[in-house]
Amino acid sequence: MGAVNSCAAHHGGGYLLQAITNGDDLAFRRALSQQPSLAFWSNIVSRKTLLHAAAAVGRRDLVKMLIMAAHYHAARHCRCEADAQVAVRALLNRATTHGLTALMVACRRGHADVAAALLGAGADPLLADRHEHTCLHYAALFGWANCVAALLEGAVRLGGAAPLTWLKDVRMDAAGLVRYVDARAAPGLTPLHLAAMHGRAAAVAALLAAGADVAARVGGVPPALRGEAAARWPPAPADAAPVHLAAAANSVPVVRLLMEAWAQRELATRGGGAGAGARGAPAARAADPRQMRTWSGLRPVDIALTSGAAPSIVRMLEVDVPPEALLPHYCGERVPKLARLAAAAHRGLLLRNLARAGAGQRWRH
């Protein structure tokens, strides 16, 4: 692998980088065909590779050409096939000074076809940047449902020892496949938290379809990552569920998706249907997100009332509404009684008065 890096012609990488930026495909193809070693070029300062540049502009064809050139050059200069594969894999997973891989760049920009090409070539979706944010966190944050689906289409099989000491809330099945839909970023946020916080309904739907935990709570920020991580990512209340964040964002579609997902899982566990265990045993009942409280003691409906959320959100978050009424094809009574609406309005007025008087702690803290 060292022979590969030493043979890379660093003097021509800037020319190829400019060709990618300017869309000069002819110059790019000519230079890469003459010097396949340029596929391993990276900027000395930023450590940005040509794969990063091609992924940023969504050029799947250029990404595949770079990967093919890397395979060709590595096969000619490495001692064995295993070393060549290691060299190409290292190129695919090379990170910039900010810890971003080419796959992360593609997911940040919403280029699902580029992400699929990188995944097919062996890019690792479990890698994280210096703030422990994975590709899935970035895809959820920016609302790219197509990237979320591409990342979660299959599971990841780990080779050898699992280097996942930093990764929290992952599931591994009997075949050794890692399901990372609920992996947490540095502030304790899952991808579903980020998508719900920013009202990304399409990304929320894709995450829920992959089995994301609708009742996952926000964890605390690790001491080593406080400050910089909190400044880069929006703060969230400790112990909040995704529905707390969606209610604060006043996102009716996201709240509806979250509550429908919980209602379907709750009814499935009651009836022993789709939520039953593999051996016929009933699955564990999911916690009702409407009854979950943040560290400051607020339920989702309290946050909806204090933040002036839409009345439809308040109705969905009332704890006495049965799960059946949260489903789209429910034919019973959906509208709460007048007494409940009056009590909710009175409670919201009291909470707002307490917040203005400084007697209560704001949910965001």
Q: Is the pLDDT of residue 262 over 60?
A: yes
The arithmetic mean of pLDDT across residues 284-311, rounded, is: 86
Q: What is the mean pLDDT of residues 124-147?
A: 91
Which stretch of 186-195, 241-250, 256-265 has the lowest confidence by average pLDDT?
Answer: 186-195
Distances (CA, A) of 345 to 250, 314, 325, 351: 16, 10, 21, 10
Distance CA 86, CA 136 (A): 24
What are 215's two structure tokens? 């009742």
Q: Which amino acid is present at 153?
A: E
Q: How many CA atoms lie within 13 A of 28 on its CB side?
A: 23
Q: Where are the alpha helices (DSSP H) in the chain?
A: 2-7, 13-22, 25-34, 50-56, 60-77, 81-92, 102-109, 112-121, 135-141, 145-152, 191-197, 201-209, 228-232, 242-248, 252-271, 300-306, 311-317, 338-357
pLDDT at residue number 93: 95
Q: Which range has the worst mean pLDDT, 10-19, 87-96, 231-240, 296-305? A: 231-240
Nearest Cα to 170, choosing from 134, 205, 119, 116? Answer: 134
Per-residue model confidence as pLDDT tens digits over 314-340:
999 998 888 888 887 655 554 455 555
What pTM, to 2 d.p., does this model score? 0.78
**Euclidean distance between CA atoms 55 and 41, whole angstroms:** 15
Residue 156's DSSP bridge partners are 178
- Give the amino acid at 36: P
Return the minimum-mean-pLDDT range out of 185-189, 220-224, 314-318: 220-224
Domain-by-domain residue ranges, the chain? 1-102
